[in-house]
């Protein structure tokens, strides 16, 4: 059995907003996803919220804003932790990495169904590294 077992996830929120200020032009659109996480520990049950915001409804160079937050539920089994991995590190790296593909998929689906712009596919990234650099 695993030290940290992924039990389930649920969508806390997801939204797509068209940017009425967007002015179509020939410039390449550059999206910079903003990623954040929140961790709650209740004994051996861990809840990790991973949130992503892509785009803006204020920046006239971006056509939309998409937000998505998912809450993952994980069970921690300290008796299985033979290597004594730091729980905080395990959750910050592994739990977030498990949730990222779900958020990525939801963002793609929301932008694809807008029927106005090409769907936005978030890049495959080391999400823990991105979060660490944002925290610095």
Read off the pLDDT of residues 60-95 as tens digits, 9 standing for 90 and up: 999 999 999 999 999 988 777 666 667 777 788 889
| 48 alpha-carbon distance from chain centroid | 11
pTM: 0.87
Alpha-helical runs (H) found in 40-95: 87-90
What distance separates the 2 farthest-apart alpha carbons in the chain?
Answer: 58
Residue-range domains of the chain with CATH? 4-135 (3.10.420.10)
DSSP string, 87-102: HHHHIIIIIHHHHHHH
**pLDDT digits (tens), the chain, 136 positions:** 578 899 999 999 999 999 999 988 888 888 889 999 999 999 889 999 999 999 999 999 999 999 999 999 999 887 776 666 677 777 888 899 999 999 999 999 999 999 988 889 988 877 777 777 766 6
């Amino acid at each position: 059995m695993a030290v940290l077992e992924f039990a389930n996830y649920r969508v806390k929120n997801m939204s797509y907003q068209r940017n009425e200020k967007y002015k179509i032009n020939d410039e390449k659109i550059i999206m910079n996803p903003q990623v954040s996480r929140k961790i709650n520990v209740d004994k051996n049950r861990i809840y990790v919220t991973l949130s992503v915001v892509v785009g803006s409804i204020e920046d006239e160079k971006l056509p939309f804003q998409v937000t998505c937050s998912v809450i993952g539920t994980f069970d921690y089994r300290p008796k299985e932790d033979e290597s004594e991995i730091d729980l905080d590190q395990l959750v910050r790296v592994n739990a977030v990495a498990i949730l990222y593909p779900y958020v990525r998929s939801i963002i793609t689906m929301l932008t694809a169904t807008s029927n106005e712009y090409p769907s936005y596919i978030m890049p495959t990234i080391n999400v823990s590294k991105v979060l660490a650099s944002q925290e610095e």
